[in-house]
Amino acid sequence: MHRPRQHLNIPTEIVRTVVAIAETGSLSKAGERLGLSQPAISSQVKRLQSLIGGALFVRTANGTTTTELGKVAVQQARRILEANDQLLRLGGSHEGPQPLRLGISTMLAEEFLKLHPAEALGDVLLHADMSPAVIRGLIDGYIDIAFVYSNPSLENEDEVTIAAEADERSVWVRSRDFVLRPGAPIPILAWPGDDWMIRTLTKHNISYKIVFRSPNHQLRLEAARAGYGLTACPERMIPPFLVSAKDYYLPELPVQKRLLCSARASKEVARRRWCSGCRACSSPARSRSGR
């Protein structure tokens, strides 16, 4: 007689852990989100890696990132969680309409929250991250609509539909007391990944050095306030403690675009939920608010 075939199953808790690590970029932050200790998180990752047969994450100077195998695993993990949630909804675990999942650039989040009171976002789930990460979420299906800045990840992307766009002029900003020593490279406060400041300086063959790097826009502004260096900021959103840097050695920054996007695969989903979410999503993208 043949022995019954043993089916391998991956616990949902482990799947959720892998997604949390990918989204937070840290085992400890994933543990905080899920209420688990770091040893427990590490144990779950090791268990899944043994089942899959390869490393899913690698430590870098900027935190924990996914390997190529990990990227595929995280994409599948999100599908598993979505299927899990849909099954729970069949049993009435999630009553009422599902929220519009709005991804928004961290550079736009503060303005967005000021313009839209909490009661107007009762059926909107906000996910704030850097623009490339939000676009990835849109393509992977866990974000319905994205409010982001244009970035290279969109250049060859056919899965994204741009619903609205508006020009955004950015300028260099610094503290009032900042002075660059003659002949010294420009100290730059940058964000991870492709950066239009760096591209502009490189294009003009200007010497620079990155002295601070963070995905958090407010932290970059605070670093500028402390005199660490220069960074870029939308012209209409310069905080009162910084000034626009018009020094002769600084090249003009290219005009960026704010984009309101949806994934082609989720276009119908976004349209069905547009009535509740469009006012919250589209008004900043249609007009240059605050000018």
CATH code (residue 82): 1.10.10.10
**Quick one: 22 exposed, middle or buried, by C-beta within 10 A (0-12, 13-18, 19+)?**
buried
Domain assignment present for 6 = no
Residue 155 shares a structural domain with residue 261: yes
Give residue 83's domain range.
12-90
pLDDT score, position 278: 43
Residue 128 shares a structural domain with residue 263: yes
Domain assignment present for 35 = yes
- Name the helix (H) or strand (E) containing 115: helix 106-115
* Angstrom distance (rounded) from CA 77 to CA 79: 5
Residue 278 shares a structural domain with residue 162: yes
- Name the helix (H) or strand (E) containing 34: helix 27-34
We report the CATH number of the domain holding residue 269 as 3.40.190.10
Phi, psi of 102 (to 5 degrees): -105, 120
- Name the helix (H) or strand (E) containing 212: strand 208-213
* Angstrom distance (rounded) from CA 19 to CA 66: 10
pLDDT score, position 276: 38
Looking up tokens 């766009």, which residue turns up?
Answer: 165
- For residue 174, what pLDDT band results from cuts at 50, 70 and 90? very high
Residue 162 shares a structural domain with residue 272: yes
Using a pLDDT cut of 70, give the percent of the chain over it: 81
Residue 134 shares a structural domain with residue 275: yes
pLDDT score, position 268: 52
Residue 174 shares a structural domain with residue 241: yes
Residue 178 shares a structural domain with residue 162: no
Residue 277 shares a structural domain with residue 239: no
pLDDT score, position 92: 45
pLDDT score, position 282: 47
Domain assignment present for 203 = yes
Domain assignment present for 3 = no
Nearest Cα to 195, choosing from 215, 178, 180?
215
Phi, psi of 140 (to 5 degrees): -75, -10
Written as six digits, the tokens of 114 are: 């000021």
Check whether 17 has a pLDDT greater than 60.
Answer: yes
Residue 265 shares a structural domain with residue 279: yes
| pTM of full prediction above 0.95 | no
Q: Which long-range contacts (CB under 8 A, 24 or more apart) does 80-84 make?
A: 80/10, 80/12, 80/15, 81/12, 81/15, 81/16, 81/19, 82/141, 82/142, 84/12
Residue 156 shares a structural domain with residue 269: yes
Domain assignment present for 71 = yes
Say whether 51 sits in a helix, a strand or coil. helix
Domain assignment present for 7 = no
Domain assignment present for 231 = yes
Domain assignment present for 5 = no
Check whether 271 has a pLDDT greater than 50.
Answer: no
- 8 Å CB contact between 153 and 134: no
pLDDT score, position 242: 96
